[in-house]
């Protein structure tokens, strides 16, 4: 049986990718941010899963505003790194896990969630920056990401976006799907995006440390309470792009305590401001 052993939560700022790719991680502006992920890179090496189920959002890169799936699961064998305007990041292509992804699609759709099936997709900073933060940068030209990834894209770019409650319930369905897969696989589920930030309009640059830290607290101890928070509260309190945080509830909903198990263990918590226009938050939870 496949099982979810841990969840990882992290922001995904594009400038973090640029800092890594341009060798700026030791500059005074960036050093405290990357310091917060040193633990995580070691933890990832020590607890390497067989697959990462990676919840992220596309930023009108693979999906244009012509077609906007609310939830899309990647069932491809591999994913190219997207060109977001400056050429693709110099990181490896992402290897998929088509067999488990197809099983999850079957199970989750039969649990009444309407997923879009994606057989070809270029992945943008929403997916590659979390991978870089957790797995490090290519030290050599033959570097490959250490794990296959099932990309799961959520629309948080164009309204209407899914509610927190629906995201939490979807996470529970994903957990059931993974646990009904025959092969004995160790799976991590990641929730990415956020934290507070607004990239446009008169409130551009908005950061709300109080909201962000209360969100981290509730992600640990009260995900059901957080799921009841309406999307307008995220936008008001955490900025227009702060709505990316609802994606964290998908990963959190897949953790064991929401299926009657013990509370997860908090192995790492980190918060840092600023990174570009964004507050960066990061959590690692392990199922007991």
How many whole angstroms separate alpha carbon 246 and alpha carbon 194? 9
Alpha-carbon distance values, 94 to 139, 147, 201 (Å): 17, 9, 34
User: Which residue in the block uniquely carries the two structure tokens 């020590």?
Assistant: 46
Q: How far is the CB of 126 from ligand DHB (least distance, A)?
A: 7
Tokens at 115, concatenated: 């997923």
Q: Is 125 part of the annotated catalytic residue set?
A: yes
Which residue out of 12, 59, 103, 125 is catalytically annotated?
Answer: 125
Q: How far is the CB of 189 from ligand DHB (least distance, A)?
A: 19
Alpha-carbon distance values, 207 to 153, 191, 229, 233, 286 (Å): 25, 20, 19, 14, 28
Binding site for ligand DHB (CB under 6 A): 12-15, 59, 193, 197, 199, 241, 244, 276-278
How many whole angstroms separate alpha carbon 220 and alpha carbon 236? 22
Residue number, 32 or 261, with CB nearest to ligand DHB:
32
Residue number, 14 or 36, with CB nearest to ligand DHB:
14
Return the closest-CA partner of residue 29 out of 273, 252, 257. Answer: 273
**125 near 59, Cβ under 8 Å?**
yes
Which residue out of 12, 103, 188, 197 is catalytically annotated?
Answer: 197
**255 near 7, Cβ under 8 Å?**
yes
Q: Is 134 left (phi over 0), alpha (psi -120 to 50) or beta?
A: alpha
Q: Is 103 part of the annotated catalytic residue set?
A: no
Helix (H/G/I), strand (E/B), else coil: 31: helix
Q: How far is the CB of 248 from ligand DHB (least distance, A)?
A: 13
Q: How far is the CB of 124 from ligand DHB (least distance, A)?
A: 9
Q: How far is the CB of 13 from ligand DHB (least distance, A)?
A: 4
Query: 182-203 b/e with 16+ CB inside 10 Å = b?
Result: eeebebbbbbbbbbbbbeeeee
Active centre residues (catalytic): 125, 197
């Amino acid at each position: 049986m496949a099982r979810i052993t841990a969840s990882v939560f992290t922001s995904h700022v594009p400038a973090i990718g640029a800092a890594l790719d341009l060798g700026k991680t030791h500059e005074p502006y960036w050093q405290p941010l990357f310091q917060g992920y040193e633990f995580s890179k070691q933890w990832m090496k020590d607890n390497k899963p067989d697959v990462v189920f990676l919840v992220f959002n596309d930023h009108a890169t693979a999906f244009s505003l012509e077609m906007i799936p609310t939830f899309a699961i990647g069932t491809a064998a591999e994913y190219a790194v997207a060109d977001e305007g400056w050429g693709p990041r110099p990181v490896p292509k992402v290897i998929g896990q088509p067999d488990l992804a197809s099983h999850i699609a079957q199970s989750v759709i039969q649990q009444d969630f309407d997923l879009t099936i994606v057989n070809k997709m270029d992945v943008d900073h929403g997916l590659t920056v979390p991978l870089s933060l957790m797995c490090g940068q290519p030290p050599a030209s033959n570097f490959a990401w250490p794990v296959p990834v099932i990309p799961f894209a959520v629309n948080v770019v164009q309204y209407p976006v899914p509610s927190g409650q629906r995201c939490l319930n979807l996470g529970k369905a994903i957990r059931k799907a993974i646990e009904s897969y025959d092969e004995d696989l160790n799976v991590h589920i990641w929730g990415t995006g956020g934290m507070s930030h607004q990239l446009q309009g008169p409130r551009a640059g908005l950061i709300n440390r109080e909201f962000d830290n209360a969100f981290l607290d509730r992600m640990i101890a009260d995900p059901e309470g957080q799921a009841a928070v309406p999307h307008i509260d995220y936008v008001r309190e955490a900025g227009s792009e702060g709505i990316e945080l609802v994606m964290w509830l998908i990963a959190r909903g897949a953790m064991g305590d929401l299926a009657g198990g013990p509370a997860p263990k908090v192995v790492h918590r980190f918060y840092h401001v600023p990174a570009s226009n964004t507050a960066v938050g990061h959590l690692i939870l392990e199922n007991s």
